[in-house]
Structure 1
Amino acid sequence: MTKEQRTKNKEQMKVIGLMSGTSVDGVDAALVEISGHRENLDVTLLAAETYPYPEWLQREILAVCAGKALTMKEFCELDDAIAQQFAKRAQQLEKDTGTAADLIGSHGQTVFHRPPQDTLGYSLQLGRGAVIAHLSQRPTVSNFRAADIAQNGQGAPLVPKVDACLLSHPSQTRCVQNIGGISNVTYLPPRSQPDWDNKIVGWDNGPGNSLLDLAVQCLTGGEQYYDENGQWAAQGTPNLKLLENWLETDFFQQPPPKSTGRELFGADYFERVWKQAQDYDLSPADLLASLTELTVSAIAQDYQRFLPQLPETILLCGGGSRNHYLKQRLQQTFPEVEVTTTDAVGLDSHAKEAIAFAVLAYWRYWDQFPSNLPQVTGAKKSVLLGEIAPP
């Protein structure tokens, strides 16, 4: 279908965005209605849901992220199983809302990410778009990172242009702080500033929930997967000597553009953290408080070193936005900055990343609009993101 045909046939598109992040909690699905052109979009959230992975599939994904070897047959089966889950969840959202989508945008499930160094980077998301398109009978845009990486970019974070479209303010400086398994920031200068869009920056800060979740699973023998609302960590006291040691990790000293994943802040890193903590005789709550402080300190250190100025508002999203203790520590770290969530400005904080991939799919499929930001990812130029699979 040509752009002219799409424009003629549709004034609006209903798009499902699908996302599963480094926390590997499950599939976030958002159904949105989008109209407009380029950055001038109207985006309305119609429905959103998080669908947990089956336990066996979650275990397998986490094992692969931690380095488990697979035969090619096992690899293909895992790829198909993830794609089937994504397609099933898109269909479930359509069924529950009684609304048929025109398009699906799927980030897939990241199982490996290598930022560019001496060679091009590499990032692998499982859950093939072609399978999703076939099972759902909806055109599907996927594999969003590849085009940016081909231009020597990091391939992440990819949502800052969407953040700018949906969350920038005419006169206020904002940071959109996503805290999933990994935390990442988008800095948004006021739109009233000259050349404001070229002043947008963003990068990965370091661990978000990844180490905290691993600690909770270790401390409870696998009976719990996360610290709800940060209640357990709130009972502890951070160990500042340990924190100082952890912050010496090279990634925290690296200037943007930078991205990371479970390859660095995953099981191996947590094993070192766990061993170091034994020397300090920490209580479980102290360990969780210390790991929370690592997430907060990595964000704070990056803001102070690499932002043109501190924002007036920090807008939290992702699973970490529900961690009240983490949010409290951020507010205490930045007493003159308002720390709130994207809900406060009209964008669902839990569905925000899935919404972003619906917008990225819309830009790719209908608008043919380049949607990476080279100053964020380090890519040589702005390019179209995503590959289109017809139904």
Structure 2
Amino acid sequence: MLVIGLISGTSVDGIDAALVEISGSTTDLRVTLIAGETIAYPTALREQILAVCAGAALSIADLAALDDAIAYHFAQAALTIQTGHPAAELIGSHGQTVFHRPAVQGQSSRYRVQTADETRSPHPLGYSLQLGRGDAIAHYTDITTISNFRAADIAVGGQGAPMVSKIDACLFGQPSQSSCVQNIGGIGNLTYLPAIDQQNDWQSEVLGWDTGPGNSLLDLAVQHLSQATKTYDHNGDWAASGQANHSLVDQWLQHPFFHQPPPKSTGRELFGVEYLNQRLVDCRTDGMVEAADILATLTELTAASIAHSYQTFLPNQPDRVLLCGGGSKNQYLKRRIQARIDPIPVLTTDDMGVDADFKEAIAFAVLAYWRLHQIPGNLPAVTGATHPVLSGEINVGR
């Protein structure tokens, strides 16, 4: 079956579109990437999305217009990726996350809304908003579109994230060795795969959670330090020219999120502009003035938070780490992760035959395929949900 996967991550780099041929179900899942492309948002739209993610206020009418605009561009990405190829039968669209509030894990959680204002809900369920309405994508493309993948997991007490761990297990699980599949988008997240015997109850043994900042702080810092002349650190070359302040990194690792046991998830609400500004104050207070040193220190935080998460919460250290997402292209970051977890080899999912740039888009194509075939998409051991659920809402094309 030909399926399109669409996603724009927390870095808001653009829309990743993947045209994928899928067969099988779970343990016999087979995916082949036919075409993959990242399609940039118009500059004004990207700036508006970033502003909303940073907490900018907007009216309900403006929110609806933004939802419509994102859906339109997602639909255009779906049409573009099919050029020169047979038509897809299904679209799985994650949409654009603009707000994520994790599920409350106990009364003391810092995420609980504690207020006497009855318009603010103290409910322990999480909340996650992805814009780019699936019904509009189905209308524009005339292709059945499945979207809003997080909602069903959240409704049964889950974090709604990470959503791709079951797919990671099906694609990368092996009986002979354990792996961590480490996605580095705007936020980092991992899937821990023990040596999987697919004849047993392997799904309960898979673990996963958000590790903390990925590219989000780095991209924001690059824009700030370059006076908006750059949007990201190509290959990590700028950071590599600086000297990281390891004492500051150790101080930053004391943030409660890094010590919160899984299941856990996060986003720009925690590791966004406000957090960056606080870290920049720390740098100035410590006498750091060189942009390259600041960027090297923030890059070190991403590497250190990943290593800390492995060493603190995994039952055993993995035999290998497979990087994916935009951060997998940051060669300096990759070297710093390797240094932090040595001698565990750090590879990418490219080495396993799955394109690291489009692995997340491929995953949402698979989630849509599973939803159509009535196969649950979440892993309760990862998200904290009470039970497996069918992930995604179905919108039939015209």
TM-score range, shorter chain: over 0.9
Check if 1:111 corresponds to 2:116. Answer: no
Q: Distance in 1 between matches of 2:55 and 2:30?
A: 42
Report the alpha carbon displacement of residue 38 of structure 1 after superposing the two structures with TM: 3.4
Residue 166 of structure 2, aligned match among 161, 165, 168: 161
**Structure 2 segments unaligned to the other structure (5+ residues):** 105-111, 113-123
Residue 307 of structure 1, aligned match among 306, 314, 318: 314
Q: Distance in 1 between matches of 2:46 and 2:256?
A: 30
Check if 1:209 corresponds to 2:215. Answer: yes
Other-structure match for 2:33: 45
Match of 2:24, SS?
Answer: strand
User: Alignment RMSD, CA only?
Assistant: 1.0
Other-structure match for 1:59: 47
Which moves more between the two structures, 39-48 or 148-157?
Answer: 39-48
Residue 320 of structure 1, aligned match among 321, 327, 334: 327
Percent identity between the aligned chains?
59
Report the alpha carbon displacement of residue 371 of structure 1 after superposing the two structures with TM: 1.2
Other-structure match for 2:356: 349
Question: Partner letter of residue 131 of structure 2?
Answer: L
Report the alpha carbon displacement of residue 106 of structure 1 after superposing the two structures with TM: 0.1
Q: Distance in 1 between matches of 2:312 and 2:342?
A: 18
Other-structure match for 2:60: 72
Contact kept in structure 2, 1:190 and 1:196, CA below 8 Å: no
Other-structure match for 2:138: 133
- After superposition, the C-alpha distances for 1:19-68 in whole angstroms (9 at most, x for unaligned) are 11000000000000111123322211100000111110110000000011
Q: Distance in 1 between matches of 2:149 and 2:307?
A: 29
Other-structure match for 2:76: 88
Contact kept in structure 1, 2:17 and 2:361, CA below 8 Å: yes
Q: Matches of residues 196-235 of structure 1 in structure 2 within 5 Å?
A: 196-235=202-241
Match of 1:38, SS?
Answer: coil
Other-structure match for 1:386: 392
Question: Partner letter of residue 147 of structure 1?
Answer: A
Other-structure match for 2:19: 31
Residue 186 of structure 2, aligned match among 162, 178, 181: 181
Question: Partner letter of residue 35 of structure 1?
Answer: S
Question: Partner letter of residue 70 of structure 1?
Answer: L
Other-structure match for 1:362: 369
Q: Distance in 2 between matches of 1:247 and 1:203?
A: 17
Question: Partner letter of residue 183 of structure 2?
Answer: N
- After superposition, the C-alpha distances for 1:196-254 in whole angstroms (9 at most, x for unaligned) are 33210000000001101111000111110000000011111111221122111110110
Question: Partner letter of residue 112 of structure 1?
Answer: F
Match of 2:82, SS?
Answer: helix
The alignment covers a number of residue pairs equal to 377
Other-structure match for 1:337: 344
Report the alpha carbon displacement of residue 364 of structure 1 after superposing the two structures with TM: 0.1
Q: Distance in 2 between matches of 1:57 and 1:168?
A: 39
Report the alpha carbon displacement of residue 182 of structure 1 after superposing the two structures with TM: 0.2
Report the alpha carbon displacement of residue 313 of structure 1 after superposing the two structures with TM: 0.7
Report the alpha carbon displacement of residue 74 of structure 1 after superposing the two structures with TM: 0.7
Report the alpha carbon displacement of residue 281 of structure 1 after superposing the two structures with TM: 2.4
Q: Distance in 2 between matches of 1:203 and 1:37?
A: 24
Residue 171 of structure 1, aligned match among 171, 176, 200: 176
Q: Matches of residues 10-25 of structure 1 in structure 2 within 5 Å?
A: 13-25=1-13
Which moves more between the two structures, 330-339 or 86-95?
Answer: 330-339
Other-structure match for 2:118: none
Q: Distance in 2 between matches of 1:195 and 1:311?
A: 20
Match of 1:45, SS?
Answer: strand
Contact kept in structure 2, 1:22 and 1:180, CA below 8 Å: yes
TM-score by length of 2: 0.93
Question: Partner letter of residue 308 of structure 1?
Answer: P
